[in-house]
A and B are shown apart, each in its own frame.
Chain A
Amino acid sequence: MLELQNVQKSYATGLFPKKVPAVRGLSLHVHKGEVFAFLGPNGAGKTTTIKLILNLIFPDSGKIFIDGLPHQQKDARKKVGYLPDQPYFYDYLTAREYLIFSAQLYNLPRSLYLERIPDLLEKVGLQGKEKLQLRKFSRGMLQRLGFAQALIHDPDLLILDEPMGGLDPIGRKEFRDIILELKEQGKTIFFSSHILSDAEVISDRVGILNRGELVRQTSLAEIFDLEVESIEISCRWNGTPPPEEWPPNCTGIRQEQQSTVFASDEQSAQQAVQWVLENKGRIVSVTPHRKTLEDIFMEEMQN
């Protein structure tokens, strides 16, 4: 659905212009119906990449295709709904006027957009605000309107730049639900974020960008299938003193009536559970520890 082939972009800065690379040899492929999270720290080049896809800025080299069409073509942009990282709208318009203006730019029939607008406003939680001028909207409300205008033409591909930015926890949950609903409808979603928990919940695949370079692409399934790093066993001693020594291949933290045992593998964990029971202890919890998206992200950043 979205393909970037060896895309390069640099900016000239300073009094004596020196080219600073913003995106370096970026290649990626987002499949139809996939939710792809584009992660990276601030200044990694996420927004630059999105601007390149949308033809707001031009690549120094490389190619970008949207559903097989070169991204400069109008037909390619018809397939895209875009939500920018900051809500940039005409503040003299009302929410309804803005959505009508957007729908007209996509050449939608009047009857269709008039039917769709109330539904969209309800979906993003702006029902009752359609006649309010945008200059009176809060940042979160503008973000919601941005989402509505990105959906006005029912696009196949959604490009969302930091979609959860500016939203309160309820708004974030609502946006996550909308994204999951769109995924169920078979839409392709490419979103940038630095909120890893959101990416973990809604995406199928992630790409990690650092200093303009895609340093890792992986699927969430791969992360969850990763080997268990350690197993944590919490236990209580029911009045008996905790044993002096840990079971084989285990370490732990000893407290007065409670201990936490860390086993390096499943076999050691089984031995540790046996050890607790033999010493008249009670198992409180057994928690396997796998690498999280955050661990992978931090690893890549440190590398």
Chain B
Amino acid sequence: MKPIWIMAKNTFRETIRDRVMYNILFFAIFIIGISLVISSWSLNQQVKLVKDFGLAAMSIFGLLIAIFIGIRIVYQDTERRTIYMLVSKPIGRWQIILGKYTGLLLTVLVNVVVMTISLLMVDFLIETHIDWGLLSAVLLIFFEIMVVIAWALFFSVFTSPMLSAILTVLIFIIGHLSPALKLFTQLHPENTTNGILLFLYRVLPNLENFNIKTAVVEHLALPPGAITNAVLYGLAYSTILLIFSAQILERRNLK
């Protein structure tokens, strides 16, 4: 575990010294803050709008941070050959992957905490109390980003940052649309390509599992176990992706 933690700390240090991250974070806080102004234009929907806006901003900017730092993290190491200095030391390649992933998660966690504090402050200004229920939506946003980062890291092991960015954004979009695949097979059971569609539905992430924003903002009841299931799904999905990433790096000749 120790080498993983050393790698994680180093990755965290790498990301927090990256100006790109601060720019994104600053912009996220700005957007959350500006929701105060925008919500004042609405009629009787001020509270809802602030929460919707804030949670959406967290989701989008969390994704941007995941993409900008996640896609470069392994590719940069192989491209700049800094990985030579790691692999030549008594550390397994899988530990490098796991360490980098943990470091990225720490960075995202810090960002999510900062954005959450901003959101709760804005909420307090509007409602004069804090809606702690928002935290469950924030928790699942973090787990959603966790899955997206696992994909970014996976692509980063074997493709360039540009391609990784495109593929990660595609995964994010498809991930939010994938329940439609299942729905399609249910509505058209006669379709001959249903097998393929169901396979894709199972392989691609279902990021809608993590989307409880509307329910939280509207104070609707969630299905029993929805949060626990989403957390377990996020953990299992990320673990599988990390195993694949580590396997690819294990077999790779570092030319």
Contact = CB atoms under 8 A, between A and B. Distances in A.
Interface of A: 11, 51, 54-58, 74-75, 77-78, 80, 82, 84, 86, 88-90, 92-93, 97, 101-102, 104-107, 149
A150 B255 CA distance: 20
B192 interface: no
Contact of B6 (A11, A75, A97, A101): A101
Interface of B: 2-3, 6, 10, 13-14, 17-18, 80-92, 253-255
B14 to A, nearest CB: 6
Contact of B81 (A82, A84, A101): A84
A102 B87 contact: no
A149 B88 CA distance: 12
Contact of B254 (A51, A80, A105): A51
B10 A101 contact: yes
Contacts of B88: 54-56, 77, 80, 82
Given A57-B254, A92-B17, A93-B13, A105 B82 contact: no
Q: Name, among A55, A56, A75, A82, the residue most crowded by chain B CB atoms within 10 Å (CB to CB).
A: A56
Contacts of B85: 82, 84, 88-89, 102, 149
Nearest to B80: A88
10 contacts: A55-B87, A55-B88, A56-B254, A75-B90, A77-B88, A89-B85, A92-B17, A92-B18, A104-B6, A106-B89
A92 B14 contact: yes
Contact of B84 (A84, A90, A101): A84
B68 to A, nearest CB: 15
Contacts of B14: 90, 92
Q: Name, among A75, A88, A102, the residue most crowded by chain B CB atoms within 10 Å (CB to CB).
A: A88
Contacts of A84: 81, 84-85
B87 A105 contact: no
A44 B81 CA distance: 21
Contacts of A97: 13
Contacts of B92: 74
A88 B6 contact: no
Given A56-B254, A101-B6, A105-B6, A77 B82 contact: no
Given A57-B254, A105-B3, A92 B13 contact: yes
Contacts of A80: 88
B91 A74 contact: yes
B82 A107 contact: no
A56 B13 contact: no
Given A88-B82, A89-B82, A93-B13, A54 B3 contact: no
A101 B5 CA distance: 11
Contacts of A102: 85, 89
Contacts of B82: 88-90
B169 to A, nearest CB: 26
Contacts of A90: 10, 14, 82
Nearest to A54: B88
A161 to B, nearest CB: 10
Given A55-B87, A84-B84, A149-B85, 8 more contacts: A56-B87, A56-B253, A88-B80, A88-B85, A93-B13, A104-B2, A105-B6, A107-B2
Contacts of A149: 85
Contacts of A89: 82, 85
Contacts of A11: 255
Q: Name, among A75, A93, A105, the residue most crowded by chain B CB atoms within 10 Å (CB to CB).
A: A105
A75 B89 CA distance: 10
A105 B91 contact: yes
Contacts of B6: 101, 104-105
A56 B93 CA distance: 10
A183 to B, nearest CB: 22
Given A74-B90, A102-B89, A86 B13 contact: no
